[in-house]
A and B are shown apart, each in its own frame.
Chain A
Amino acid sequence: MKREPILKIENLELSFSQYIQGLKKRELTVITNLDLELAEGEILAVVGSSGSGKSLLAHAILGILPYNARTRGKILYKGKVLSQREKERLRGQEIVLVPQSVNYLDPLLQVEQQIGISLQNKTKEQKEKMNNEILHRYGLDLAVKQYYPFQLSGGMARKVLLATALTSSAKVIIADEPTPGLDDESLGEVLKDFRNLSDSGKAILMITHDIQAALKIADKIAIFYAGATLELAAGIDFAHGGQGLRHPYTKALCRALPGEDFEAIEGRQPLPSELPQGCLFSDRCQLCTEECTRQRPDYRMIRGGKARCIHAT
């Protein structure tokens, strides 16, 4: 059954204007071709290495990009293009963010108040109750309510960040790197929470570099490389040494996992300022032909998934 996507991103391009050497201005394109679809009750993981512009995707959806950023392409929510005004109306209400680090918490607010901001329309008793509940669920002592961000350990901070979003009644949750710093037990707890939330009908966009955590819970995985989504695969495609995968990069990525061959390929991801004209992966790809270097391949449907490669089957 094909579910109608609640959040859909078509060909998103994101660039920054920068001044280099005094007054010379240049456009730095950080996201080149990003496509994704997220349905209710679904977990989509966007997996990419650190510094590949994944967080900017979250910021673009929420309309909190810096002033010198420019986007092209479409972001659709419930089938309608999201304007900046719409984003401002929806954020915090229907679309919430689980931020990346403790720096996203006001240093002078106690945990209780941090979570409380998400519970604006509740009474004091309800707030108190929900606060206690969520802390209890993550095995945090009630004393943590009175803590300031600087007193939180990495794992505690992560849980508090999650708590700010999980207490809301939003339909879409964007989690930016929600897993680092968690011990195995808490990680399991958090992932289970995500699963429960999505089973209750919420759509979850998980932005992460932790492919293994993504594989545990995500329904679909979008592979993000050099500012583009190269492949959209189901979690199952990664099984048996990635036999179900389509794109050469994803296959290589799968082989590099500790559980598999643990074998890395040569080279590194190109920087935004040095993107090749053709396929973004062409300089590291073994299947690369002349055609690949000429123009960027389209994102096409292959066996229920998608890949941006002319050789993919």
Chain B
Amino acid sequence: MKKHTLGKFVLYRLMKLVTLLVALCIVTFVLLELSPIDPVTAYVGADTKVSAQQRELIAKHWGLNKRPAERFWAWFSSVVQGDWGTSMIYRRPVLEVIGEKFVSSIVLMMTAWVLSGIFGFFLGILSGVMEGSWLDRAARVYCHILISTPTFWLGIVFVMLFSVKLGWFPVALSVPIGVIQSEVTLWDKVQHILLPALTLSILSVANICMHTREKVCEVMHSEYVLFAKARGESRGSIIRHHVIRNVSLPAITLQFLSFSELFGGAVFVEQVFSYPGLGQATVQAGLKGDAPLLMGIVMISLLFVYTGNFIADLLYVWIDPRMKEG
């Protein structure tokens, strides 16, 4: 591939990202302005001892007495300079909060992502190769049920079944209660992450499985597989040499494109399992009107999803010879 074409492609996508970020910031800010939640009330809660004057002081301290456009500009110019502001509810710098939450979320999301990718891909291949068999039918029914299942509901069912009834997994949180941070073992963490990750992954299995199956069927009906048969290649050889090769790239691409659903799913799952990650922070920031934190999270999630899409596009350009040389 010619170097400057790739450079141009990356530059174009970067510009697109910047404009998208600015637009997203404006939209989020407007939505927050229109929201009925008053940050001050949300902050002090139902405490009636706080007088109106004190409330005004808090509002002034936060700069809420200024005009919305002015506030947006103040926030925007400081973000550009690298200062993302201070979270109202955590009373710590936004970037620090996001960084900490993001780490635990990313572990959860990536576990789910890898699990669903591997499981979905192989189920899709099996189902597609054995098109029309009972296994194929079972896989399809399974996927259709999964696709129509809400994440939070599945999460609740899992907690009831595996944690409460069977006691295989802890009920919630990311670490055991009443244990000092330094004494938390890796096993504890794994135990806590498994059930939420499983919930999150099980739903994306359906997507990847159905798409892979579709593509496998297409390949199995292709003329080149017919020719492979005519050349005496066994079923195993056909799957290894032709099916997996032709199906992998679309499957991997799809898996990267699923970052947005992954993030969306994580918000629900973290809420159900009280898992202290970015998803839960998003809900908190929204409910308490914590504008700096919410804006920060929105930007980070955009970056996350955009990175996924960008990698998917790059994979095609890099790996597929038809895109590379054509």
Q: Which B residues lie within 8 Å of A106 (CB)?
A: 224, 228, 241-242, 245-246
Specify the chain A residue showing the minimal Cβ separation from B325: A151
Which listed segment binds B: A23-31, A92-100, A240-248, A264-272? A92-100
User: Are A117 and B231 CB-contacts (below 8 A) given A103-B224, A150-B326, A151-B325?
Assistant: yes
Residue pair A108, B246 in contact (C-beta under 8 Å): yes
Report B237 CB to chain A, min CB distance, Å. Answer: 9
Chain A at the B interface: mostly helix, strand, loop or mixed?
mixed
Q: Which residues of B contact A107 (CB under 8 A)?
A: 224, 246, 322
Decide if B226 touches A64 in the complex (CB within 8 Å): yes
Contacts of A103 in B (CB 8 A): 222-224
> Which residues of A have CB within 8 Å of B325?
148, 151
A105 at the interface (CB under 8 A from B): yes
Least CB separation from A151: chain B residue: B325
Interface contact A104-B233, CB-CB below 8 Å: no
Chain A: CB-nearest residue to B326: A150
Q: Which of B66-124 contact A (CB under 8 A)?
A: none
Q: Which of A92, A104, A164 contacts B226 (CB 8 A)?
A: A104
CA distance A64 to B231 in the complex (A): 10
Q: Is B321 an interface residue (CB 8 A)?
A: yes
Is B223 touching A99 in the complex (CB atoms < 8 A)? yes
CB < 8 Å neighbour of B224 from A88, A91, A96, A104: A104
Let me know if A229 is at the binding interface, CB within 8 A. no
Contact A148 B322 (CB under 8 A): yes
Complex: A90 Cα to B224 Cα, angstroms: 19
Range for the number of chain A residues in contact with chain B: 20 to 34
Residues of B within 8 A of A59 (CB): 226, 230
A101 in contact (CB, < 8 A)? yes
A164 touches B229 (CB 8 A): no
When each residue 209-233 of chain B gets 1 if its CB lies under 8 Å from chain A and 0 otherwise, what string results?
0000000000000111011111111
Q: Which residues from chain A contact B222 at a C-beta distance below 8 Å?
A: 103
Residues of chain A within 8 A (CB-CB) of B229 are: 62, 64, 91
The 0/1 profile, CB within 8 Å of B marked 1, for residues 77-99 of chain A is 00000000000101111001101
List B contacts of A151 (CB < 8 A): 325-326
Complex Cα gap A97–B320 (Å): 28
Interface string of A107-131 (1 = CB under 8 A from B): 1110000000110000000000000
Residue contacts A-B, CB under 8 angstroms, 13 given: A64-B230, A90-B232, A92-B231, A92-B232, A97-B230, A101-B223, A104-B223, A104-B227, A108-B245, A108-B320, A117-B228, A117-B241, A148-B322
Measured CB to CB, the residues of B under 8 A from A are: 222-224, 226-233, 241-242, 245-246, 320-322, 325-326
Binding site for B on A (CB under 8 A): 59, 62, 64, 88, 90-93, 96-97, 99, 101, 103-109, 117-118, 148, 150-151, 164
